[in-house]
Amino acid sequence: MKPQTTPKVTKGDRTRQRILETASALMAERGPDGVSMREISAKLKITKPVLYYYFKSKEDLVRAAFMEGTKHFQELHMEITKPGLSLEDKLERIFANHLDFIKRYPDMPKCALKIMASPETSVLSAMAGELKARNRKELRLMLDKDKLPPHAAESVIHMVSAVIGYFMIEARERGAEALDKQLPARLARLISAGARHLKIALVILLLSPLLASAGAVDLSVDGAVDLAMKNNTSVANAERGRLIYKEKIREYWGGVYPQLSASAQYTRNIEKSAIFFGGKKMELGSDNAYAASLDLNQVLWAGGKVRTGINMAGIYSDSSTEQLRSAQNAVKKAVTQLYYSVLLTKTMADIQKETLELSKQHLATIEAQYKQGLASDLAVLRQKVEVSNNEPAVTQTLNYYEEGLLELKNLLGLEPDAEVALSGSMSCAAPSASGLEGLYARAMAARPEYRLAGLQKKLALENITLERAGHYPYLAAFASRQFQGQTNGTVPDSTQRSLSLTAGMRLSLPLYSGGAVGSKVKQAGLQLDIAGENLKNTGRELKIAVKKAWLEQNEAAQRLGSQTTAVETARKALTATETRFRNGLAGQLDLNDATLALNRAQTLYTQAQHDTCSAEAQMKWAMGE
């Protein structure tokens, strides 16, 4: 028999493989629509003609990359059709095959997920759908041989799809190495046992925590705000500050209650002291001396210091609560406005895509007319330039969208590669018809910054009382139980020890402090004046913020109202121009002008929608909501 030889890998094969790997990596980051042939050639440092030598078009390249990523399905089919394999063995090989493929090609999961998220009308989406249908058909044939109970086969197929989706999500977010090598065997055992015993529902329940993350997070505006409240650092620190001041109240209350302390002392007289009496030396004390005491102190009056301290702690606690609300409101405004900004770039990208698609459709019309002799080659070239001019705008707006999404994830405390799908829309309510005076009153009652300034003034007033207490006497009661014992042995007996009990009151009266207390009182008075001015200034700034937000909200709403019909009018005008162009009654310039007019109307309408929602968020913040 002639020995089998391994096909020789040529330089062209290596170049082709390198192009496929680079294209897959780029598409994994931006999606197939966000990558151009120019970028791929620049990344590989080859010319575009070389790239087009291997792949006639971008669609051919994307299709080849997709097919490259599905080769392991053929290997898998051969594996699971081997005779003598149990259901558990087959499932394990399915999972292990996918896991091994993901580890060999770490960029493929991202690319696959991007393809799944592509529009249903795209070629890639259709290819992915065909592959999914084919694989499910093969799974059904495999499971038919295992003679599972009714409905169990379909449930197993759903579980296999969910597990594979989980593998891709985990590989994208944490890396393929984070997936346990023993996971395929464990999952195969669990699903197989459930299928055999008609407990698929139980298996789904057991696996649901594992598979819950196998999909993008649908994020509404409120959901984004809630997530930021849990993860944002400034909010978390403000919450910790509030808890600190709550503990401060307990600390100050400690000064109201009696203070009880105990002490003990042991002394070894190595060389005893002595006195001389009548010319004779007499040593004092014993070898060992013991002393202990239990002391009780209770403040009776301190010039109002204790009560004022408790009041101030309460004010600090209220202030920390308002600081928390201020941080929450600021984060809510920032998240909401950034959320709408990302939605704006996403909508702008859709508008640019539509404009590009329209220019391509117009190019097809002009090329058809050229073939019929109704249009010149110059008209074709002009329209090709129009198409080329529209392509960078799509790439640029998609890039802006991805950058905005990264900023939003950072604000929400999410990882950069976390899959997020914005489910909100830029449909915001019309501004309130309330008058400015009513808005001012509501803002002063609810805005945490104004309430905080009021608490600071109240705190400064309490501080004057605290400093004045330095002029007043300090009165306290005390009691002490004491033990004394001396012995040359180890433990003093009853004749060598004594107990005593004392109690009394202590009065301290400040007579002269060099004017320090009076100076502190004056300083506290000046701080009160500053706090009063800050309160007035905060109120003035609050009114300015409310009025500015009110003006912006009304202006944006009026602009939105004027643009509502503009888009529909521009679209009708474009349709009419296209009809006239096909009938030879309008020129190419008219056609492109109508397309540009629709693009501009859509852009202005979308911008007005965004500004309305952003102004609404600004107004809610200004109102302290």
Segment 187-216 mean pLDDT:
53
Q: Are 24 and 65 in contact (CB under 8 A)?
A: yes
Q: Which uninterrupted H or E stretch holds 101? A: helix 87-104
Largest CA distance in the chain: 146
Taking the C-alpha atoms of residue 625 and residue 335, their distance in angstroms, rounded to an integer, is 14
pTM of the model: 0.55
Taking the C-alpha atoms of residue 121 and residue 85, their distance in angstroms, rounded to an integer, is 39
Determine the pLDDT at residue 9: 58
Determine the pLDDT at residue 204: 45
| Cα–Cα nearest to 96, from 81, 67, 76 | 76
Same domain, yes or no: 209 and 75: yes
Q: What is the pLDDT of residues 545-559, one digit of tens each?
A: 888 888 888 888 888
Decide if pLDDT at 17 tops 60. Answer: yes
Decide if pLDDT at 106 tops 70. Answer: no
Segment 415-426 mean pLDDT:
77
From residue 268, give the alpha-carbon distance in Å to each of 272, 274, 489. Answer: 9, 15, 11
Same domain, yes or no: 210 and 262: no
| Cα–Cα nearest to 242, from 180, 145, 355, 322 | 322
| 491 found inside a domain | yes
The full DSSP string for 173-188 is HH-GGGS-TTHHHHHH
The full DSSP string for 51-78 is HHHH-SSHHHHHHHHHHHTTHHHHHHHH
Determine the pLDDT at residue 396: 84
Taking the C-alpha atoms of residue 77 and residue 127, their distance in angstroms, rounded to an integer, is 19
Same domain, yes or no: 111 and 172: yes
Q: Are 304 and 236 in contact (CB under 8 A)?
A: no
- Domain of 81? 69-215
Q: What is the pLDDT of residues 526-535, one digit of tens each?
A: 888 888 898 8
Q: What is the pLDDT of residues 273-289, one digit of tens each?
A: 878 877 787 777 788 89
Determine the pLDDT at residue 294: 93
Q: What is the mean pLDDT of the chain?
A: 78
| 176 found inside a domain | yes
Query: Per the structure, how many domains does the chain have?
Result: 2
Same domain, yes or no: 179 and 263: no
Same domain, yes or no: 263 and 191: no
DSSP 268: E
Determine the pLDDT at residue 293: 94
Determine the pLDDT at residue 208: 45
Determine the pLDDT at residue 193: 66
Q: What is the pLDDT of residues 474-522, one digit of tens each?
A: 888 989 999 998 888 888 888 888 999 999 998 888 887 778 888 888 8
Determine the pLDDT at residue 501: 93
Q: What is the CATH number of the domain that holds 482?
A: 2.20.200
What percent of the chain clears pLDDT 70, i.e. is strictly above it?
Answer: 80
Determine the pLDDT at residue 202: 42
Residue 1 binned pLDDT confidence (cut-offs 50, 70, 90): very low
Same domain, yes or no: 200 and 263: no
Q: What is the pLDDT of residues 288-307, one digit of tens each?
A: 899 999 999 988 877 777 77
Taking the C-alpha atoms of residue 222 and residue 209, their distance in angstroms, rounded to an integer, is 24
